[in-house]
Structures are given as C-alpha cells and as structure tokens.
Amino acid sequence: MERFFRFNAALEQICGVAAALCLFVFTIIVAIDVFFRQVIATPLLWPSEISVSLFVWSVLLGAAVCTRRNSHLVVEILPSLPTRIDWLLRLLVDLLCLIFALLVLWTGVKQAWAGISRYTPMMGYPLWPFLVALPAAAVPMVLFSIERLVRGSPPGSAGGATAGEEGSAA
C-alpha cells in the first residue's frame, strides 16, 4: 500500500506540473495569436484549437490534483462531526467520487476511441489527442479516489476542504 501511496504522490506532482505547463503554454499561444493579428496583421489559424485543447487538459489535470488534495467545491450544509455516522458518510462520498471517476473514464475512452479517425473542424488535426484528455485525467482521478477510500479521510477533515482554503475563480 505504501508504494501505491508514494506512486500517487508522484502522480499528483506530475499532473500539477503538466497542468501548470499547459496554462503557461496556452497563455503564450493566445499572446502569439493576438500579436500576429494586431501587430503584424497576419491572422493565424492554428492557435485557437491548440490553445483551447491545452486549456481542457489543464482543467482536467488540475481537477485530478484536486481529487487527491480533496479540495473540490463542496457545500457544507451538514456540519462534520467526529462520529461513526460521519465516518460512514465520508466513505460513501469517497465511493461516489470513485464512481464519478470511473464513469468519466469509461465514457471518455469510448468517446476517444470513436474519435480516432475524426479530425478537428478548422485545422483538420486528428481529434483524438483532444478527446483523450478526459480519460487521461480520469485515470489519476480513479487512483486518487481509491487511495482516499483505502486511507479513509484524515481525522477531523470534512468531506472536502472548506471552500475558503482553495478559493474559487469567481
């Protein structure tokens, strides 16, 4: 088990770095796009599909990181108590999160497989590297959800981190 946890810790690191890299690269791509259109007056066609795809990758990989950190947006209506029922409830939530990850993985693989011979509408790039983001990010989500189930939530923590700890975009 220890090895599985260590593997997951490394995987979380990789997902985080990859997601941040995606953010960095798509920011630069959009900058190049605007520069070419506004300054050089030669609009480029390739940036929009590539930048959106990197954005999708970054969101999904970031979401995988949040799964391990247990920082997804949760509404705290029920107070979390150090009781047995609360522990069972957390177990149920972790199980539901695992089902979510498996659903995304399963339907994502099917979608990517179906898209293997399809191309993007504008540039005609192969579509699968775009579609594969969903199942690719679902794999760490599944692993992280299993880890959470095995470990049980750390004592004292609620079903999710309080929203304030991580904040939100809005």
Burial (CB < 10 A; 0-12, 13-18, 19+), residue 6, is: exposed
Asked whether position 40 contacts another protein by CB under 8 A, the answer is no
Shortest Å, Cβ 103 to another protein: 6
The interface with another protein within residues 55-114 (CB under 8 A) comprises 55-56, 58-63, 65-66, 69, 71-78, 80, 89-90, 92-93, 96-97, 99-100, 103-104, 106-108, 110-111
Q: Does 136 bind another protein (CB under 8 A)?
A: no
Establish if 12 lies at the interface with another protein (CB under 8 A). no
C-alpha distance from residue 49 to each of 5, 56, 95, 110, 126 (Å)? 36, 11, 35, 22, 11
C-alpha radius of gyration, the chain, whole number: 19
3-class DSSP state of 122: coil
With beta carbons less than 8 A apart as the criterion, state whether 22 and 58 touch. Answer: yes
Our finding on whether 170 is near another protein (CB under 8 A) is yes
Identify the sign of the CA torsion 28, 33, 36, 37: negative
Binding site for another protein (CB under 8 A): 16-17, 19-24, 26-27, 30-31, 33-34, 38, 48, 51-53, 55-56, 58-63, 65-66, 69, 71-78, 80, 89-90, 92-93, 96-97, 99-100, 103-104, 106-108, 110-111, 130-131, 133-134, 158-160, 162-170
